[in-house]
Chains A and B, each alone.
Chain A
Amino acid sequence: MKNFSGKVLFLDRPDINTDEIIPARYLSENTKQALKPFLFEDINLEGFDYKKDIRGRSVIITRDNFGCGSSREHAPWALQENGFNLVIAQGFARIFKRNMFNCGMMAVELPPEIIDRIFSVFSKLETEIETFFDRSSFTLTSGEIKESVKFEISEFDRALVSAGGWVEYADSRY
């Protein structure tokens, strides 16, 4: 199973699309590794420096409808190549969410009030998250502040994360 813990990158905007995660001009790359330098190159987020601001971070917390637009799995791959295996959001576009679990990564939805609370308490602070997959909970920590949050993912998505992705799962069954 992949690593789902680490320092948090907060992206405070809804509807971040897959063109922003990885621009189409890099879709001619034939390896996942080649996508690494271009993650968030076109993101429309004031003051965001796509080269500096992702350094050392491995979990994204964001708003609603993350990953809308193109079906490109290059978006999860670009995240994975930069060490992000977990995105927590108020909501996801369908294809993006499927792609994440299909790759054995996690796209976890939390209710709007919890996302709001996490943003208001933690987004200006250096925050770490620890994920307890078996217990379905996260612990967010920033200095003295500590909060636990329960999450839900479907049994199917859980099976994909454990199996390492959809190809392994499907090939053994169908």
Chain B
Amino acid sequence: MGKTIAEKIFESHIVDNPCDDIYVIRLDAVFCHEITTPIAINDLVVRGKDRVFDASKIKAVIDHVTPAKDSKTAVQGKILREWAGRHGIKDFFDIGRNGVCHAIFPEKGFVRPGYTIIMGDSHTCTHGAFGAFAAGVGTTDLEVGILKGVCALGYPETIRINITGKKPEGVFAKDIILSLIGLIGVNGATDKVIEFSGPAVESMSMDARMTICNMAIEAGATCGICAPDMTTVEYLWNHIKDEFKTKKAALDAFSVFRSDPDASYAGIIEHDVSDLEPLTTFGYRPDNVKPVREMEGVKIDQVYIGSCTNGRIEDLRIAAGILKGNKISDYIRGIVSPATSEIYRQALDEGLIAVFLNAGFCVTNPTCGACLGMSNGVLAEGEACASTTNRNFMGRMGKGGMVHLMSPATAAASAIAGHITNSKIYGGR
């Protein structure tokens, strides 16, 4: 019997099978940020186990609240910073050089096909875009990962979603993943891996693949995963060119991490995107999805473009393409947060930052802040935000606030209109 990508990676990393369906796997990387790691660090200190399994395999970033907004968040940054320092964790990224974890770690080349990765963050599934087995975990799993370089997980059953068809203009990776979550529901892939395959995925950029894998958790999935191909190699090339003579050689090496034709799946879903429309959410669950046209005119107070879902350069290009030559509505607050310092610089070089500023957007430093209502764009009670983020839970961006999830194109168009609207009515795209 053939194996899926997830099974191949998982099986090659097993160190123990303590009982039942639980396997302890070896980790190739443990990622850390300042919200979920400090309590793990403090606990290790209290236990007299303030050690790390391998400083070169631990990567850390301050991203959720940066710059610190108050004394408490300053302490969280301080704990992570001092810990990285005393253990010689060289890949530590602080303000000015930082970025949203799920954007900066791939950008730095830390995610490779075949890797096993955990992080104390549910959107760790993003890294599956590279053909890695990457799972979000809680603080205790993170703590053991830091200390021992292992994690206990169930054997990964996979749901394959085969995406076909050419998406119409104005429809983006975000619309595809929203449509899928709407289809299978917030509980549709719990305890399973979602493998995204098919021609529509093969033709996607890495940025777009990261967008779809990012939201696999919104259907309950342990990981999202895409087979590595030449697009993966091209993205990673600067980081791997010393390891492989040619791109072809890298591709051959990575091709081990592809599902066998006779692999067994828990389910296979065929999804044709030829007739897909731009989508948005209407309630407090990511599977409350509707066409934008049915939400036309819905009131918003803020537009947020950024996050680990849609704060990458391609997203900023799409939004700027619509904003160019336009001004946002007088009644709207527009906030854009490029997901990393590098993306910020690139956006500046390409003139995108000027487009955002001319349109009336506030451009903030890279941070997760607004997405989870911690800083840099918190909503007031009764306000609504058109947002390129990943969660519309009640109170997510601020107590009593409503979040409508959408693509950067729909968010940009809605900023101009002053209410939810389709990007087709504006120039650019």
Interface with B: A80-88, A96-104, A117-125, A141-149, which one? A96-104
Among candidates A14, A24, A156, A167, residue contacting B144 with C-beta atoms closer than 8 Å: A167
B187: interface (CB < 8 Å): yes
* Residue-wise interface mask of A (22-53) relative to B, using a CB-CB cutoff of 8 A (1 in contact, 0 not): 01110111101000000001111000000000
- Chain B residues closer than 8 Å to A60, beta-carbon distance: none
Q: Quick one: CB contact mask for B28-70 with A, threshold 8 Å, 1 for yes?
A: 0000000110110011000101000000000000001100001
Between-chain CB contacts (< 8 Å), 26 pairs? A15-B285, A19-B372, A20-B393, A23-B373, A25-B398, A28-B35, A30-B75, A30-B79, A65-B186, A68-B220, A69-B393, A70-B372, A70-B391, A71-B136, A91-B187, A93-B190, A94-B191, A94-B222, A95-B136, A98-B137, A98-B138, A102-B138, A102-B140, A170-B152, A171-B147, A174-B24
Q: Nearest Cβ distance between residue A162 and chain B, in whole angstroms?
A: 13
Are A44 and B394 CB-contacts (below 8 A) given A156-B20, A166-B144?
yes
Contact of B190 among A65, A76, A98, A103 (CB under 8 A): A65
Q: Which residue of A lies closest to B72 (CB)?
A: A28
A2 interface residue (CB < 8 Å to B): no
Contact (A69, B122) CB under 8 Å given A30-B38, A154-B20, A166-B144? yes
Tell me if B116 is interfacial: C-beta within 8 Å of chain A. no
Chain B positions near chain A (C-beta within 8 angstroms): 15-16, 18-22, 24, 35-36, 38-39, 42-43, 47, 49, 64-65, 70, 72-73, 75-76, 79, 120-122, 124, 136-141, 143-144, 147-148, 150, 152, 154, 186-187, 190-191, 217, 220, 222, 284-285, 372-374, 378, 391, 393-396, 398-399
Least distance between B144 CB and chain A CB atoms (Å): 5
In the complex the two chains form, is A28's CB within 8 Å of B42's CB? no
A99 to B151, CA, bound (A): 12
Give the distance to chain A from B277, nearest Cβ to Cβ, in Å.
25
Whether B47 lies near A94 (C-beta < 8 A) is no
Contact across chains for A170 and B144 when beta carbons are under 8 A apart = yes
Interface residue tally for chain A (C-beta within 8 Å): 46
Contact of A71 among B21, B24, B120, B398 (CB under 8 A): B120
CB distance from B384 to the nearest CB of A (A): 16
Which 5 A-B pairs give the minimum distances between C-beta atoms? A99-B138, A73-B138, A102-B140, A24-B372, A42-B395
Does A134 make an interface contact (CB < 8 A)?
Answer: no
Task: Give the residue of B15, B152, B154, B186 whose beta carbon is less than 8 angstroms from that of A68.
Answer: B186
For residue B119, which residue of chain A has the nearest CB? Answer: A71
Q: How far is the CB of B38 from chain A (nearest CB, A)?
A: 6
CA distance A43 to B394 in the complex (A): 8
Contact across chains for B152 and A156 when beta carbons are under 8 A apart: yes
Cβ contact of B399, chosen from A17, A25, A29, cutoff 8 A: A25
* Assembly CA distance A32 to B38 (angstroms): 12
A64 at the interface (CB under 8 A from B): yes
